[in-house]
Structure 1
């Protein structure tokens, strides 16, 4: 069976693994019933395109209690009254394109700005061994919910630095990094069962309690992010594995 490479299809493949299921935020196609289900259950959701990258089209919806909802898109914020009205407004913005709705993770923050991790997992040509070849943190720019550095004018720092400077409580830097590596390797192996791939770029969220979440997987991740780190050793390693 041939599997699609859109975000929902890859989520469903990852969800098949009992070892990864607890690290995956609930994700569905964006329909009115799915939107209502997740916003009622969690109070906060992320809506984003089925395909694409770079944080384009991503928006946050937060229940304010009663029938009031706050929608955050780019740097703009809007309050809407009524669930049906909120859904209708999102459909107008998305112009009929296919979107998904996902439980919003309360990402850890550095100086009040959310961050997530880009984790590169690769295997050399002819090898069956998956290796974590790089990891870094993407810190959102002021006023943005997305961590894509180009769109939000955010910045890239070593993952350990971001965790150390963040509001994460309850787990050490080494514990979190070990969990990130473990989840990254398991995710790559699971995806490889369904797709012909040698590289997986995972966007991994870390919440303020130190819990690690798989936000999405990309099979053609940009390695240029790693050039923004002062230490270029991870970039060089990623390039070696891609050959």
Structure 2
């Protein structure tokens, strides 16, 4: 184990009633071990723990020889990795002033700039002629008029929060005669299924469901496997120690039959991509799907980064319809890694932890040389 020449901060959202008071403890523990071997110590803290007068922060550090998290006081680190997950708009707004304060400090550099919501990411990607064929039409859901217009154009529509993740607050709406079938997951990530018997009851329900949260609307694609389970493919792309984008791994996330989403937080499970595609598509289709995955892995990070600013990693969620058409469903700048533990690809998961440390080390060396 090398002595720590650098300190990497990790900002997280505070979880009351837990010790340590944040999520992703396994990932952050593993990241600490990787950091130690590279001469980087990790400290984890919610952004409101920074005292800007003293430029010190109350943080947690994992001491892996003793397998214990200890609370310590450290100087504000130069390099900070943002792992804050927001449950909804109000949660995001609570943290925003503190994150903004970190962004505005000239001595602090964020390792990966968070994306600005699904709609903004869609607009960035849509500027690329080679990427736009993979994108679903996506617009802001501002009024009843937007909902009616979307249903006239696409029949079935999907509504989801512009921010947020893990499938929370997502609903698919499908007309059935004079009624409407609505399936989805609540803000607390519980599945629901209801029938609304008029357009008025639908618009009233949608108004209550979305509240004041910014939402988007898209056509709803029934992306299901041959045995009727919803699925998507998670692609993890990261920067390596040379600052170049590489594809760390892919995995298929499969939801339960009847579920709207495939998200692991909603009770889904994961499977090897090759194994899943071989079971569900012809060899010719599998070849085409892999080519599309490789294409998106190469060009999506480049397009987003040139418009948005420096990034560290991206999780891309891809859907494949029964005809083998590939759709880019979502891009996330704070991807998880547990999917690779479920598929048994522990070497991929290990690499997914190692690469952020390698890239951070490169940035620390540039900071020392004054070239960041």
Q: TM-score by structure 1 length?
A: 0.90
CA distance in 2: counterparts of 1:242 and 1:141, whole angstroms: 32
CA distance in 1: counterparts of 2:203 and 2:252, whole angstroms: 32
Aligned to 2:265: 150
Please report how far the alpha carbon of residue 235 of structure 1 lies from its aligned counterpart in structure 2 after TM superposition: 1.2
Aligned to 1:112: 228
Query: Compared with structure 1, are the counterparts of its residues 239 and 105 closer, same or farther at alpha carbon in structure 2 (3 Å cutoff)?
Result: same
Aligned counterpart in structure 2 of residue 30 of structure 1, from 141, 144, 154: 141
Which segment drifts farther, 81-90 or 224-233?
81-90
Deviation per CA, 1:160-208, whole angstroms, max 9, x where unpaired?
2222222x46943222112112112211111111222021101111111
Please tell me whether the aligned partners of residues 169 and 208 of structure 1 are also in contact (alpha carbons under 8 angstroms): no
Aligned to 1:14: 125
Aligned to 2:286: 173
Deviation per CA, 1:112-157, whole angstroms, max 9, x where unpaired?
1011010011222442x32211100000023211111221x22100
Aligned to 2:296: 183
Please report how far the alpha carbon of residue 111 of structure 1 lies from its aligned counterpart in structure 2 after TM superposition: 1.8
Q: Structure 1: where are the runs of 5+ without partners?
A: none
Aligned to 2:37: none
Cα RMSD (Å) = 2.0
Please report how far the alpha carbon of residue 13 of structure 1 lies from its aligned counterpart in structure 2 after TM superposition: 0.6
Q: Structure 2: where are the runs of 5+ without partners?
A: 1-112, 186-190, 358-372
Aligned to 2:161: 49
Please report how far the alpha carbon of residue 108 of structure 1 lies from its aligned counterpart in structure 2 after TM superposition: 3.2
CA distance in 2: counterparts of 1:29 and 1:4, whole angstroms: 17
Aligned to 2:209: 93
CA distance in 1: counterparts of 2:352 and 2:298, whole angstroms: 15
CA distance in 2: counterparts of 1:91 and 1:43, whole angstroms: 19
CA distance in 1: counterparts of 2:288 and 2:282, whole angstroms: 12
Question: Which structure carries more relative contact order (alpha carbon 8 Å, separation 6+)?
Answer: 1
Q: TM-score by structure 2 length?
A: 0.60
Please tell me whether the aligned partners of residues 139 and 155 of structure 1 are also in contact (alpha carbons under 8 angstroms): yes
Say if 2:181 is the partner of 1:70.
yes
Aligned to 2:152: 40
**Aligned-partner SS, 2:230:** strand
CA distance in 2: counterparts of 1:96 and 1:126, whole angstroms: 43
Please report how far the alpha carbon of residue 83 of structure 1 lies from its aligned counterpart in structure 2 after TM superposition: 3.3
CA distance in 2: counterparts of 1:15 and 1:3, whole angstroms: 19
Query: Compared with structure 1, are the counterparts of its residues 110 and 138 closer, same or farther at alpha carbon in structure 2 (3 Å cutoff)?
Result: farther
Deviation per CA, 1:74-107, whole angstroms, max 9, x where unpaired?
3322222333431221111222211111111221
The total of aligned residue pairs comes to 238
Please tell me whether the aligned partners of residues 115 and 332 of structure 2 are also in contact (alpha carbons under 8 angstroms): no
Query: Compared with structure 1, are the counterparts of its residues 143 and 190 closer, same or farther at alpha carbon in structure 2 (3 Å cutoff)?
Result: same
Aligned to 1:194: 307
Larger Rg computed on CA atoms: 2
Query: Compared with structure 1, are the counterparts of its residues 162 and 126 closer, same or farther at alpha carbon in structure 2 (3 Å cutoff)?
Result: same
CA distance in 2: counterparts of 1:68 and 1:43, whole angstroms: 13
Aligned to 1:103: 219
**Aligned-partner SS, 1:241:** helix
CA distance in 2: counterparts of 1:225 and 1:103, whole angstroms: 27
